[in-house]
Amino acid sequence: MTDPISSFRRVAQMDASNRQVSAKAQERDSDVASEGLTKVLAPQADEVKLSAVAQKAMQEPEFDRAKVEAIKEAIQKGQYPIDTRRIAENFLAIEKMIKE
């Protein structure tokens, strides 16, 4: 004859031992996963290689230095033409974009 209480204890003991084994396995899996994650997330050196065209573009921007210097000089002397109407229209356009 089986005592219902003792069989219950046996089942409870088996469940407890299974939980302990399961907890140890989870810890081991967690340790392995965190090690793998550390390896994956470890800083790696990035390398960028630019094409010849990109390297040339980065070396010196293309613009008309003489024109830029002429504009700078005109601004300093107060001789650069300013179109106040165009400036006002652009401000109005910006205001309309902000309100929408």
Q: Tell me if 67 is assigned to some domain.
A: yes
Q: According to the model, what pLDDT value does residue 46 have? A: 82
CA atoms within 13 A on the CB side of 72: 6
pLDDT digits (tens, 9 = 90+) for 58-83: 787 678 889 999 999 999 999 999 89
pTM above 0.85, yes or no: no
In a domain, residue 54? The reply is no
In a domain, 49, yes or no: no
Q: What is the pLDDT of residues 21-40, one digit of tens each?
A: 566 666 666 655 555 555 55
In a domain, 5, yes or no: yes
Please, what is the average pLDDT of the chain?
75
Is residue 5 domain-shared with residue 38, that is, in the same domain? Answer: yes
In the prediction, which pLDDT does 3 show? Answer: 52
Chain position carrying tokens 């065209």: 53
Q: Do residues 80 and 71 lie in contact, with contact meaning Cβ atoms separated by under 8 Å?
A: yes
Domain that holds residue 7: 1-42
55: Cα separation from own chain's centroid? 25
User: Do residues 80 and 74 touch, judged by C-beta distance below 8 A?
Assistant: yes
Domain total in the chain: 2
Residue 83's identity, in one-letter code, is D
Task: Among 10-19, 32-41, 43-52, name the most confident range.
Answer: 43-52
51 in any annotated domain: no
Contact (Cβ atoms closer than 8 angstroms) between residue 50 and residue 58: yes
CA distances from 93 to 34, 61, 81, 85 (A): 55, 31, 22, 12
Helix/strand/coil for 81: coil
